[in-house]
Amino acid sequence: MSDDDRDRWDRRYASLPAVAPENICLPVVFQPFSHLFPTAGTAWDLACGRGGAAIWLAQRGMTVCGYDVSPVAVAEARLLARRCGCAARTRFAVADLDDGLPPGDPVDVVLCLNFRDPRLDEPVQSRVRRGGLLAISALSEVGAGPGRYRAAPGELARAFEALDVLACGEADGQAWLLARR
């Protein structure tokens, strides 16, 4: 990612009000499936932003690593984890996913919200432990039109067809998929 893009994300996160601990939750698109998310084990939150989803997983009992390109977002995620009493079960780091995934062992959950890079499809799948869960969402052309960062119709389902797809959808400019390896 370019320095300009990183600066743009930093400015965006710096302009937002702090996340209130009472607003920590699983992203809306995955809330109907919250019962499928484990209450123990390890998780990665890719493009974690300010850490809300990672902290939700940690509050359930998981040990979570969150990665984002924005140092501002990562600092806010660390602060929020401390405020929510989850600092011992979370680790947040700055990582440019355009350079690939950070090193690490397979985990029980990989969560990736509003970030899409088809070059990472195979590495992401290989980071999900057998029996583990992948939850991914991305901007979509469905209901919105084409764009540089938008998934084409059916792209997520095709990209992750080797997994056991539990649920998926595309509408209103968003595509999402929940699958088990």
Domain count, the chain: 1
Q: What CATH number does residue 151 fall under?
A: 3.40.50.150
What are the DSSP E strand ranges found in 22-173? 42-46, 63-68, 90-94, 107-112, 128-139, 164-171
What pLDDT score does 109 carry? 98
Q: Which phi and psi angles does 146 have, rounded to 5°?
A: -70, 155
Q: Which of 37, 28, 179, 171 is closest to 113 using CA atoms?
A: 28
Token pair belonging to 109: 């959950």
51-63 pLDDT, tens digit per residue, is 999 999 999 999 9
Q: Which phi and psi angles does 43 have, rounded to 5°?
A: -145, 155
What pLDDT score does 135 carry? 98
What pLDDT score does 1 carry? 63
Sign of CA dihedral 120, 109, 75, 149: positive
| Mean pLDDT in consecutive groups of 10 residues from the start of the chain, 181 residues | 82 90 92 97 97 97 97 96 96 94 96 94 97 96 86 95 96 96 96
Burial class (CB in 10 A: 0-12, 13-18, 19+), 71: middle
Sign of CA dihedral 160, 100, 44, 79: negative
Identify the domain containing residue 79 by its residue range: 3-180
80-115 pLDDT, tens digit per residue, is 999 999 999 999 999 999 999 999 999 999 999 999
